[in-house]
Amino acid sequence: MYDQYKRKIEYVRISLTDRCNLRCRYCMPEEGIEKMRHEDILTFDEIIRIVRGLAALGVRKVRLTGGEPLVRRNIVELVREIHKIEGIRQIALTTNGVLLADLADELVKAGLTGVNISIDTLKAATFADITRRPVFARVEAGIEAVHEAGLRDVKFNCVPIQGVNEAELPALVEHFTHLRPWKFRFIELMPIGCAYEAGLKGIPMAEVRQTLENAFGRLRPVPAASGVCGPAAYYQAAGFRGQVGFIDAMEHKFCSSCNRVRLTAEGFLKLCLNAKTGLDLRSLLRSGISDENLRLALQQAIYHKPEEHFFKTAAYQEKDSRAMYQVGG
């Protein structure tokens, strides 16, 4: 369906949990996290009902995220059920990769079509410093498992941070995209959660791009792929099989082509990453709403999706105070 600004909404990102087995410095504090109560989190049946309603309105792609989606029990079963919903063509996962070695094969068999793995470094010590957990080898095993499971849509997300992984950016791109047709994307550090309180400073995308061009020569723009796409702009270095992407979240560049809505683990339909407006679907579901009325409620909410986010505007006070692990990135 189209919203009031004529944007085609065909993508939902679903946060399955606010829990995580890592504690990345820019995302989650080590302690003092107030966890959601189990009974407040949507059940798989509730998620399936919402996805059915969204699919009836034209949503074609589902991404499962979190927190860490793979810590949610029986996630393979959820993927299998979403795969059966008419209209859904892509089911993707955003994960830190720690549990992928055990689950990649089953997930792909259940219908998973793509995975985004977050990885900021190739060094075990830097990984342990950023994530506060010494489990780099498990992520490496997870990446290998994805390769062996034959998944074709494989992307990596990296947040470049001054003085932390700054010197490794060309090495990361080379490692993941030189010989394999994978996509390595840089995400600008966002003023969300504990990123700034932790004293971390991001690196502007223009600077990252310049660093890569110094290492590999001119990056050639790659036309957008078919299917439901995200906000990354992709480039390729000469002689590389894969691509490098840039997600410049601080500018308003992609609001005008935004094609997505988000569902929080507690069942709140967020219409914009950084705005409070949305719809409390959990209350509607638990008060016995019919499928038809659910579809109408979704339709009305999506129609009123905000025009743009507020990171840099005077309306910043309208921002949502939730962190990335609570809304799913």
- For residues 113 to 132, the per-residue mask of contacts with ligand SAM, x marking binding by CB under 6 A and - elsewhere, is -----x--------------
Given the complex with ligand SAM, which of 16 and 294 has the nearer CB atom? Answer: 16
23 makes contact, choosing from ligand SAM, ligand SF4, none, with CB < 5 to 8 Å by partner type, with ligand SF4
Residue from 121, 157, 165, 264 binding ligand SAM (CB under 6 A) = 157
Assess 68 for contact with ligand SF4 (CB under 6 A). yes
Given the complex with ligand SF4, which of 193 and 306 has the nearer CB atom? Answer: 193
Number of residues that bind ligand SAM (CB under 6 A): 22
Number of Cβ within 10 Å of residue 278's Cβ equals: 20
Element (H, E) at 54: helix 44-56
Inter-residue contact 188 to 204 (CB < 8 Å): yes
Assess 156 for contact with ligand SF4 (CB under 6 A). no
Residue 97 C-alpha from the chain's centroid:
13
CA dist 290 and 23 (Å) reads: 39
Quick one: DSSP state of residue 274?
Answer: T
- Tokens 């394999």 locate to 180
Q: How far is the CB of 159 from ligand SF4 (least distance, A)?
A: 8
Assess 329 for contact with ligand SAM (CB under 6 A). yes
Inter-residue contact 173 to 208 (CB < 8 Å): no
Inter-residue contact 149 to 79 (CB < 8 Å): no
Which among 287, 284, 259 has a CA at the least distance from the CA of 273?
Answer: 259
Site for ligand SAM in 9-28 (CB under 6 A): 20, 26-27
**Helix (H), strand (E) counts: the chain:** 10, 12
* Region from 34-42, 43-51, 61-69, 71-79 binding ligand SF4, contact rule CB under 6 A: 61-69
Assess 88 for contact with ligand SF4 (CB under 6 A). no
Inter-residue contact 95 to 70 (CB < 8 Å): yes
Quick one: DSSP state of residue 202?
Answer: B
Assess 94 for contact with ligand SAM (CB under 6 A). yes
Tokens of 85: 């919903």
Residue from 11, 235, 268, 325 binding ligand SF4 (CB under 6 A) = 325
Given the complex with ligand SF4, which of 145 and 194 has the nearer CB atom? Answer: 194
Q: In a 3-state reduction of DSSP, which class is residue 311?
A: coil
Q: Which residues bind ligand SAM (CB under 6 A)?
A: 20, 26-27, 65-66, 68, 94-96, 118, 157, 159, 187, 189-190, 192-193, 195, 324-325, 328-329
Chain contacts with ligand SF4 (rule: CB under 6 A): 20, 22-24, 27-28, 66-68, 96, 118, 324-325
